[in-house]
Amino acid sequence: MENILLPEPHKILNITKMTDLEWLFRVEYKEVSKIQFGQFMQISLPKVGECPISITNFSVEENWIEFLIRKVGIVTDELFKLKPGTIMPMRGPYGKGFNLENYKGKNVIVVTGGSGLAPVRSFIDYMYKHPETVKSLELLFGFKDMESVLFKEDLLNWREKFQLTLTVDKGCGIDGECVGLVTEYVPQLQLLRKDFNDLEIIIVGPPVMMKYTALEFKKIGIPDENIWLSFERKMSCAIGKCGHCRIDETYVCLEGPVFNYSKAKDLVD
């Protein structure tokens, strides 16, 4: 009998330092076609532990997936000791991500806070390579300061095709960047001047940021059904058996991490 909890070995192809605490790991993976935007993997280290990490990008043609890993605990501390060419055991992919069919032919707004950009990066990159998929895409990203900004090269590329607003919580922006929380800039989004029935909103970030950003869209009149959130939880089994990620009767690892706001607004710990 197959053990669905048994991780499989995958070779690390490259490691890129993004910030002092956040590194980008590119890992060899031969079943990329199974991956959906916004899903996650369980990354394991023998005798250390396991942790859930969102898939931040992938290549079907080159057979790799990428993870933005933040150094925040025992497992991630050990992951930062690995080198390219070594093995990273993992299992997955898990969860329900962003269904591409839901966004085709529509206007889409993506709002992220900090490392919340990572789970939606593959979705945005797909739109960059296939801009005909949607009518238009507008981006609003918030970071603590300019030193915390992630995927800077991607941001420059995305700006070539999409309206992009970058905000920092404090300090000074560059190139006309805005200072303040993303919630302050929601009313200024250009796509909000269009028909709401043809508009989909994606929000990814810390729980407090997602809560108040969603409320800003609600003030403007965006229906619950047009807003999507991605929950970051400490998944354990990732198959709905342990209950570690459960909120009331909802298993985030199975029904999420991507939820429609009509359900997400009631998911409170």
172 is in an annotated binding site: no
Q: What is the DSSP letter of 96?
A: B
- CA–CA distance from 196 to each of 176, 193, 207, 221 (Å)? 29, 8, 24, 8
Would the annotation count 193 as a binding residue? no
Q: Measuring CA to CA, which residue among 6, 77, 67, 12 is closest to residue 41?
A: 67
- Which tokens in the block code for residue 191? 């796509």
Q: Is 51 annotated as a binding residue?
A: no
Residue 70 annotated as binding? Answer: yes
Is 237 annotated among the ligand-binding residues?
yes
Long-range contacts at 173-177 (CB < 8 A, ≥ 24 apart): 173/146, 174/146, 177/146
The rounded distance, in Å, linking the Cα atoms of 123 and 110 is 10
Give the residue ranges of the annotated binding site: 68-70, 237, 242, 245, 253
Give the residue ranges of the annotated binding site for [2Fe-2S] cluster: 237, 242, 245, 253
Give the residue ranges of the annotated binding site for FAD: 68-70
